[in-house]
Amino acid sequence: MTAYPAPPDDDARYLALKAKDARFDGCFYTGVTSTGIYCRPVCRVRTPKRENCRFFVHAAQAEQAGFRPCLRCRPEIAPRTSALGQVFDAKPWSIQDASRILAGQAARLLDLPEAWGDSAPTVQRLAQRLGVSDRHLRRIFEAQFGVSPLQYLQTQRLLSAKQLLTDTTLAVSQVALSSGFTSVRRFNAVFAAHYALNPTQLRRNGAKHGHDATGQSLHIRLHYRPPYDVDAMLQFFGIRQVTGIERVTLEPGSQSIGKTVAVQCGKTRYTGWLVARFDAAGHRVDLRLSDSLREVLPWAMSRVRALLDLDAEPSAINSLLRTSFPLGDGLRVPGTLDGFELAVRAVLGQQITVAAARTLAARLVQRFGEPIETPIAGLNRLFPSAGALAAATGDALGELGIVRQRQAAIQAIASAVAAQRLTLHAGADVPGTLAALKALPGIGDWTAQYIAMRALRWPDAFPAGDVALHKALGVQDAKNPAKEAQAASLAWQPWRSYAMIRAWATLPAAAAGRQVTVSSIK
């Protein structure tokens, strides 16, 4: 949805198009007037003539101009772009940028299925959530992105449906509902009007590769922009993996992470498993999910993108951080599939080693987690639900080795999440959630900022009191190291979460020839 870090003008974009440059995948699209098709910069078809090219910074703009998505490069599987890429760039900003920021927030919320719960997003609900009028929202959104919020949302829904039709065997009716359409009839009409073919026609060319041979799992492709340090990401998860709920494989050629999953959707709870395997040569992740998650497939895809930070824009981030952190251009911020799980594990990791925190988490899973059958060796339990931990007694938690202060914090978080007073995902209000977290017993600024960084996916989170950060920045001997770290961080806004990862990566544990093993955080 943003022009940054795409090349600054159309001639430069044409050069990127000719080079099939994967760094700009999803940052702009090319409409070809001679064919009526729009493509990603990495499309392998013959490069069109310059005079036949029109460039757009978002797929919705290309579709509004009358272009249809390419069936070969498939714009729907391009990496997404962060609203912050356009809202914040490497230049200072002021109060005059309020409309840009608000429009970017609106687009970010429209991109997140979990931001709306069981209800479909509307312009009215979006405006209410942002505290502005419908008219004002439409005006600033169109000024910023060149399309209305409804046009933007409709394009997102159509592209989501196109991917599900091509990559899975979901029924057309289920594809329509999963993509946000309220009726199959409406979906068929809109799809045919925009793409000049009906869903069934597209299905004939896809879907046959969407299941494995047993029909028990779904397969989806998720792309990212290089550079991406796969080793660093999987090492981060690997040294924190908890027996029973996750499994990390680091061997070249089979680098992957497997997780058990529980999703609450309305009154229905879906459980299953997934495995995300990296294909570094193709700049993508091959996602395999249990068939039991088909009803919540868009949610699962969105959460895996967040887990692995697949939508980061390295060019925008590196342009700001490279001076302070010349190494680690491929580092990403590790996320989570479940914000509640992340919050509990953050509490367990307070003031103890990573290994000790992992041991406590494993005990918690074995004591309170539900058993689950999966075809993946070692994946046999679910992380405890908020309800289960809210009902747990202090004695039961104490038997696992969890001290009283941590017990109170875990039960407070669990009670707030179970009662839906606290939501921990990328669609949550960041300032409000930070305040709510710090109001709970045992939750300080470090824990709240860490949760914001990984669960809320806030790229500007900064736990200034982190001891490892002080060491990395060389301020550990200052009178007030947290204040010194906070002052230094102002130069890294709005990408301070990425600065944290890079700072941690410079610690001695990452030395000895290894550029980026982020092992100092809980």
More confident residue, 476 or 5: 476
Q: What is the pLDDT of residue 116?
A: 73
Instruction: Judge whether residue 92 has pLDDT over 90.
Output: no
pLDDT at residue 522 is higher than 50: no
C-alpha 267/C-alpha 371 separation (Å) is 21
Average pLDDT over residues 239-250: 96
Residue 94 burial (CB count, 10 A): 6
In this predicted structure, the answer to whether residue 437 has a pLDDT above a threshold of 90 is yes
Handedness of CA 7, 10, 16, 17 (dihedral sign): positive
pLDDT at 122: 84
Produce one character per residue of 134-173: b if its CB has 16 or more CB atoms within 10 Å, e if not: eeebbebbeebbbbbbebbbbbbbbbbbbbbbbbbbbebe
Beta pairing class for 68-69 and 268-279:
unpaired
Q: Is the pLDDT of residue 231 over 90?
A: yes
Beta strands in 213-298 (DSSP E): 217-223, 246-249, 256-265, 268-279, 284-290
Q: Is the pLDDT of residue 91 over 50?
A: no
Q: Please name which of 261, 247, 253, 260 lies closest in space to residue 230, comparing C-alpha atoms.
A: 253
466 given a catalytic annotation:
yes
Produce one character per residue of 475-498: b if its CB has 16 or more CB atoms within 10 Å, e if not. beeeeebbebbeebbeebebbbbb
| Residue 518 binned pLDDT confidence (cut-offs 50, 70, 90) | very low
Segment 90-113 shows an average pLDDT of 70
Residue 89 predicted with pLDDT over 60: no
Per-residue pLDDT band for 97 (boundaries 50, 70, 90) equals: low
* Secondary-structure class of domain 339-467 per CATH: mainly alpha
335-355 pLDDT, tens digit each: 999 999 999 999 999 988 999
Average pLDDT, stretch 91-120?
A: 71
Question: Nearest to residue 259, comparing CAs of 425, 379, 345, 384?
Answer: 379
pLDDT in tens, 273-303: 999 999 999 999 999 999 999 988 988 999 9
The confidence score (pLDDT) of residue 481 equals 95
Q: What is the pLDDT of residues 355-384, one digit of tens each?
A: 999 999 999 999 999 999 999 999 999 999
CB atoms within 10 A of CB 191: 26
Architecture of domain 217-321 in CATH? 2-Layer Sandwich (3.30)
**pLDDT at residue 205 tops 70:** no
Q: For a pLDDT cut of 70, what percent of the chain falls above it?
A: 90
Q: Which of 115-124, 195-204, 362-371, 469-478 has the lowest mean pLDDT?
A: 115-124
The active-site residue, picked from 25, 311, 338, 466, is 466
Report the C-alpha gap between 274 and 217 in whole angstroms. 9
> For position 96, what pLDDT does the model report?
46
What are phi and psi for residue 284, nearest 5 degrees?
-150, 165
Q: What is the mean pLDDT of residues 67-92?
A: 72
Contact 62, 149 (CB under 8 A): no
Q: Which residue has the higher pLDDT, 252 or 310?
A: 310
Q: What tens digit of pLDDT does each residue of 473-509 get?
A: 999 999 999 999 999 999 999 999 999 999 999 987 5
Phi-psi category of residue 266: left, alpha or beta, with phi > 0 → left and psi -120 to 50 → alpha: left
Mean per-residue pLDDT, 57-85: 86
Residue 90 is predicted with a pLDDT of 37
* Whether the predicted pLDDT of 121 surpasses 60: yes
pLDDT, mean of residues 261-274: 90
| Per-residue model confidence (pLDDT) at position 394 | 93
Mean pLDDT of the chain: 88
Q: For the beta carbon of residue 433, count every other beta carbon within 10 angstroms.
A: 21
Radius of gyration in angstroms for the set of CA atoms belonging to the chain, rounded to a whole number? 23
Q: What is the CATH number of domain 10-76?
A: 3.40.10.10
Question: Is residue 306 a contact partner of residue 457, using CB atoms and an 8 Å limit?
Answer: yes
**For the chain, which residues make up each domain, given as ranges?**
10-76, 84-167+170-204, 217-321, 339-467
CA distance readout (Å), 255 to 52, 245, 284, 354, 481: 41, 17, 12, 22, 38
* Residue length of the chain: 522
Q: Is the pLDDT of residue 201 over 60?
A: yes
Q: What are phi and psi for residue 221, nearest 5 degrees?
A: -105, 135
Collapsing DSSP to helix, strand or coil, 314 comes out as: helix
The answer to whether residue 5 scores a pLDDT higher than 60 is: no
Residue 11 falls in the annotated catalytic set: no
* pLDDT above 80 (res 6): no
CATH code assigned to 84-167+170-204:
1.10.10.60
Name the pLDDT band for 212 (thresholds 50, 70, 90).
low
- DSSP letters along 340-373, please? HHHHHHHHHTTTS-HHHHHHHHHHHHHHHSPB--
- Work out the average pLDDT over 466-472: 93
- Active-site residue identified among 39, 53, 70, 73: 39
φ and ψ of 104, to 5 deg: -65, -40
Reported as a single tens digit per residue, the pLDDT across 132-165 is: 999 999 999 998 888 999 999 999 999 999 999 9
The confidence score (pLDDT) of residue 416 equals 97
CB 411 within 8 Å of CB 368:
no
List, in order, residues 6 or more apart from 511 with CB less than 8 Å away.
none
Place 7 in a pLDDT band, splitting at 50, 70 and 90: low
Confidence grade of residue 521 (pLDDT, cut at 50, 70, 90)? very low
What gap in Å lies between CA 144 and CA 471, rounded to an integer? Answer: 41
Distance CA 390, CA 156 (A): 37
Cβ(212)–Cβ(222) below 8 Å = no
> Do 341 and 242 touch, CB atoms closer than 8 A?
no
Between CA 89 and CA 387 the distance in angstroms is 41
